[in-house]
Structure 1
Amino acid sequence: MSEPLLTVERLFCERDDRILFDNLSFDVKQGEVVQIEGQNGSGKTTLLRILSGLSRNFEGGIYWKGEPISDVAEDFRLSLLYFGHQPGVKAILTPEENLNWYAAMHPSSIDQSRIYDALEQVGLKGYEDVPCHMLSAGQNRRVSLARLYLSDAQLWILDEPFTAIDKRGVAEKEALIARHAENGGSVILTTHHELNMGDRVRRINLDKLAGTS
């Protein structure tokens, strides 16, 4: 069996004098989809931000391929795609320009045809050259989602990736996540959507790890 890509050991996080999770340990192997569950306020987004290196408000250990993340920060950053609540797009740029900017930051072969295909996949064909400040909030989120079609990252960390997406779009994104896992990638995500990926999905419920549990 392959070694875990990501390992979490005895993670503790407290916010506003309330323990969100304590003694949280798990690992993520290649090909796995780990769904983080819990009620609103249980710390799902906080956990994803910690795992992505965006928050240091925690105690415990996080390891990438067996090494502390702090020791392999550059390799981890290049191996990660994080999708958060905010769309993360530049309003003055067009969808095409935003994706070109994303492509320039990643050392991979992302050509213009892949960018056009990604925008078509998220339903933005015909909007490629419209400034993002003229698009709706849902369309801006789709610009951000288009990165999934361009990413060669091993680990995807996705916070509610199906929000503001219609049923067809949800099915397409779920299929994309499944393909990523089938190709050896790993995914950690939060979603209220019932994932149809069989035993490939492992669920972790934060409600059972709260300080009052």
Structure 2
Amino acid sequence: MPAFAGTELTCLRGDRLVFTELDFRIEPGEALMLLGPNGSGKSSLLRMLAGLLKPFRGRLAWDDLEVRDEPDQHRRRIHYVGHLDAVKPVLSALENLAFWARLGGAADPNAHALDALTRFGVPHIAPVPGRYLSAGQKRRLNLARILAAPAPLWLLDEPTVALDRAAVRLLEGIIAEHRAAGGMVVLSTHADIALPGHRVLQLDEFSPVAHDEDEEDEEHAL
């Protein structure tokens, strides 16, 4: 599996320069943790890596193959789990997850979805409509997407939000297994999570201005 890297990335949101001249590189088996104060662009960078936000300037590439030249191949290589839980309220947990598994190319979406729910300790929510799930159950359901269909790069925005300690331990184990198999992880978090040997990208080092909590909240809402 090739490495994934960004070079001289600049993010412009409206008329605000969020970060500039940002470089990173992640090799198979590595984990990269995004740190920085509220508003420094952690969520924006993850959305950029997922292809949901275009860099104002800079380059994203798998080795020498630029993402913009092969966007479909890039999408097949990633799982992005955003800060907000994307759960359809009228669909059951299993139906929600099977949709993502099918989109990711799983041969048997329902079976993969149920296996993923089981790994995250919530097989009992499979028939429950999304509207009745608790915040913690919705978070586990969304995180189960990373197991429902294979992808080498996981992009996780605050993955521990609404999780109890037991669920965080489950996630730590799942990430460790993914990395041991050559998978890669980029995540942002305000909570403690065990990522042995991870590297840190301090986003405020690439930011030209100070930020506050209101800007970070606006970022998540976009």
TM-score with structure 1 setting the length? 0.90
Partner amino acid, structure 2, of 1:25 = D
Structure 2 CA distance for partners of 1:111 and 1:104, relative to 1, 3 Å: closer
**Could you tell me which amino acid in structure 1 is paired with residue 43 of structure 2?**
T
Assess if the C-alpha contact under 8 Å between 1:7 and 1:26 holds in 2: yes
Do the aligned residues in 1 keep the contact of 2:106 with 2:112 (CA within 8 Å)?
no
CA distances 1:62-101 after superposition (whole Å, capped 9, x unpaired): 1123211111111111111000012122211101111221
The equivalent residue for 1:209 is 206
Partner of 2:154: 156
In the alignment, which residue of structure 2 is the partner of 1:127? 125
One-letter code aligned to 2:205: K
**Aligned AA (1:100):** A
Distance in 2 between the 1:111 and 1:19 partners?
Answer: 41
Structure 2 counterpart SS, 1:198: coil
Alpha-carbon distance in 2 for matches of 1:197, 1:159: 15
What letter corresponds to residue 147 of structure 2 in structure 1?
Y
Match of 1:170 among 165, 168, 176: 168
CA distance in structure 1 between the partners assigned to 2:77 and 2:125 by the alignment: 29
Give unmatched runs, 5+ long, in structure 2: 211-222
Amino acid at match of 1:62: L
Q: CA deviation at 1:106?
A: 2.2
Q: What CA distance in whole angstroms lies between the structure 2 residues aligned with 1:16 and 1:117? A: 42
What is the alpha-carbon distance in structure 1 between the residues aligned to residue 73 and residue 202 of structure 2? 29
Amino acid at match of 1:205: Q
Instruction: Please state how far the C-alpha of 1:110 moved relative to its aligned partner.
Output: 4.0
Give the letter for the 2:194 counterpart: N
Moved more, 114-123 or 38-47: 114-123
Q: In the alignment, what sits opposite 1:85?
A: 83
Q: Which amino acid aligns with 1:48?
A: L
**In 1, are the aligned partners of 2:8 and 2:59 still within 8 Å (CA)?**
yes
How far apart are 1:3 and its partner, in Å?
4.8
CA spacing shift, 1:182–1:110, aligned 2, 3 Å: farther
- Report the Cα distance in structure 1 between the residues aligned to 2:100 and 2:196, rounded to whole angstroms: 32
Check whether the contact 2:6–2:61 (CA below 8 A) recurs between aligned residues. Answer: yes
